[in-house]
Amino acid sequence: MIKVGDILVKVEAVMGKPTEKTSDPQGTIMTWWLVEEEGIDESAPEQYRSLKEKPSDTSGHKFLKVIIDPKNKVTSKDFSL
């Protein structure tokens, strides 16, 4: 689980390489676009994998977006899972 206050190393360890990474005055914005994996076992919890490129049509896609400050801490997060 990613939460505000976590460090960048933890976020990248849990999520892997982001789909998008940009910088602005607020800090570094990292976004992971996700797609649901088809599981073998219906009773297993939902599983996602991150996309290498941003989908052309983002409606219906899941995402996690975090803002990292200059001290490499998460200051904000937004998601749709």
Q: Is 39 helix (H, G, I), strand (E, B) or coil?
A: coil
Range of the domain at 21: 1-40+47-54+67-81
Residue 19 pLDDT > 80:
yes
pTM: 0.83
- Strand 47-50 and strand 27-37: pairing? antiparallel
User: What sign has the CA pseudo-torsion 13, 52, 32, 66?
Assistant: positive
Mean pLDDT score, 55-70: 90
* Residue 62 counted as domain residue: no
Residue 12 pLDDT level (bands cut at 50, 70, 90): very high
Within a domain: 81: yes
Total tally of structural domains belonging to the chain: 1
Lowest mean pLDDT among 41-45, 59-63, 70-74: 41-45
d(CA 53, CA 46): 21
Q: What is the structure's pLDDT at 28? A: 95
The alpha helices in the chain, defined as continuous H runs, are 8-15
* Residue 40 banded pLDDT, cuts 50, 70, 90: low
